[in-house]
Amino acid sequence: MIGRGVEMATEVEMSPAAKEAAAAAMFSPYSSPSTAFLLQRRVLSWAKETGSPATVRVRVADRSFILHRDPLASRCKYFSHAMEELPGDVELPDSFPGGSDAFEVIGLFCYGDAVALDPFNVAAVRCAAEFLDVGGLGARCDLYINQVVLQSWDDALIVLQRCQPLLPVAEELLIVSRCVESLAFMACMEILDPEQRRDQPGVDDAGARALVGRRWDAEVVKELAARDLWIKDLIALPFEFFKRIVQALRRQGMKEKYVSPVVLFYANKWVLSKKTHKFWASSDEAGDGETDANRRATEILQGVVDLLPVEASGAIPVAFYFALLSRSLALELKEESRTRLRDQVASQLQFASADDLPLPEHDADRSVADSREVVTMESIVSSHVAMQRQGAEAVAELWDRYLVQIVADPKLRPGRLAELIGVVPAGDRKTHDHLYEAIKTYLVEHPGLSGEEKASLCGHLECRKLSHEACIQAVQNERMPLRFIVQALFVQQMHTHRAFAERSDSFRYTLSGELIPGVAGAYTPSPGCPVPTSQPLSTTSPYTDAHTNVAPDGKLHARGDDDATSDYETASFRIQALEQEIISLKKTLQRHNTLKGGSVRKDSKEPSFRADVAAPVAIRRRAPVSGSCIGSMRWGSQRRCASRILRVFTRLAVFGRSRSRGKQSKCRAAAEQLSCL
């Protein structure tokens, strides 16, 4: 009767647990039959064999087990001490590792049955055996881990994932460290295997080309990561385990060009992917899902920044650094992580493109120039300039391209734009084409600027660093100040003059090479023709002039850029002198009109440059306009004034026309000598 009562009580207590364990066993291929069913049957058989009832109730979380006292006390020191204080009822604390599933395995072991260890339960059983001080079971679990689990990639990965809820006990028993080192070793062997060798894990030639020169696309990178299964397994781990594996890979000697892409794929999945962010935000129903998603992303991003190599690696695209930077602006990173990320971005700035840089979103209450994106990029570019790193010209061009994308903001003030332009020193700009494009766009979007504001912005432009096409556009742009247009006209004329000089010099070199014996490519008379008896051309030949130098080897060299620079500076000085002369003429005419009572004719809509005809002025000169600067005149007046200034330049021989006529006369004299020969 006692055995029957024990059987009924055991069935009542264990049947629900057996059902739950059987349902859970469906997820483990090694759990058949279920451990709960085996324990229930073993308790009944022990009661029949010994005739003693099960008198000890063990509570594990929300489950209860009615077992015999002798098997528990003989195998578990924890129960032997616990049952001395409470003989009939023992409740395990919440810190018990493994839960009820691990206790079922320990219960079978206490009854003397063989336990079925597998990768899904061995970590929990090992931790539970250590907690309950079960003799012999811990050693058996360690043997299984060393000889079975650590020899297989899949088994080691499963055990490592099962260790997460068992921390810190699993860490103290070295289960985590053994699995980490084993996975790192097998990953190195995967790279070194000749049959599986590849240039970069997950990034072949086609994949690398897909990431270079375009904005970061998280979905494309996910497809690349899925090509290598071992990388796909690693990036699915919790970050703490992933971080330790990456450190183990570097410690075991894996090259950085193989380690860095793994970090890239992990950050892309858990930080940059919008799908992951939406999943985290929707899974937290109790609290604020958006806040929880940002908190998780912040923790992982800070760890990823620490894992990135200190020195730039070609295995990581530049767009990845800027994608992390853009994501970090919406997160609350620690100051140390934020500074380190910006330093890494600054070191890669010269290799970036304008599409990589973060663009601000439209805000109706704030200017784009005051957004976090623009302020951050301004700080990074300033840091690059201050450190005097290589690639200053590339960074200057990148910054000008970035300004082209943000100057269309109607709230952008001229002073703020001037500050952004001044972030890069003027000497670092090899070309001003993109800066001209930015200022041109700004003038189009802000038509209400005054002449002084336009002149201040255009003062950052240097016409000598504009291309020929940009000069043509500048001359035809009605929104540009007159002084800038005149400078652009002069530079355009100088470019044209240099092009003609190069063409004429090349022609003279070819002609002189045919006439000078001994020079490469010289003229060779045909058989039967007499050799000319005239003397060879010397350095005083009519085909050379004061601006063409003859080297000892007989080659002719065109005039250098020093003369062009001198002409440009002279022209700028003369423009300023003409402005001062116009201002003085204006004052003289105003004083004369005041004394004589004369007035300027008013029949024209625009201010006239001509004084009154009846005024007794010895020399008739142009009167100035009603402004203190040429740039303040209307467009029609500006064009006419520019034409008059150009005619003055022509009379002063600034453009070298008299010099060209001298060259033409010398060329005609040389042609006559050739005809005589």
- Tens of pLDDT along 237-263? 999 999 999 999 999 988 888 898 899
Contact yes or no for 323/272 (Cβ under 8 A): yes
Q: CA-to-CA distance for 320 and 215, rounded, in angstroms?
A: 9
Most confident of 100-114, 174-188, 327-341, 649-663: 174-188
pLDDT tier, 582 (very low <50, low <70, confident <90, very high otherwise): confident
Q: CA-to-CA distance for 151 and 6, rounded, in angstroms?
A: 45
Contact yes or no for 105/35 (Cβ under 8 A): yes
CB-based contacts of 595, cutoff 8 Å, min separation 6: none
Largest distance between two CA atoms of the chain: 146
Helix (H) or strand (E) holding 58: strand 56-60
- List, in order of start, the domains of the chain with CATH numbers: 33-192 (3.30.710.10)
Give the predicted TM-score (pTM) of the model: 0.69
Question: What is the three-class DSSP state of 561?
Answer: helix
- Tens of pLDDT along 194-217? 455 444 444 444 444 456 656 788
- Tens of pLDDT along 420-462? 999 999 889 999 999 999 999 999 998 888 889 998 999 899 8
Answer with the residue of higher pLDDT: 616 or 566.
566
Total count of residues recorded for the chain: 677
Which CB contacts under 8 angstroms, 24+ apart, belong to 64-70? 64/13, 65/13, 65/14, 65/17, 65/39, 65/103, 65/107, 66/9, 66/10, 66/13, 66/14, 67/43, 67/107, 67/110, 68/43
Arithmetic mean of pLDDT, 146-169: 94
Q: What CA–CA distances, in Å, run from 429 to 393, 426, 488?
A: 6, 6, 18
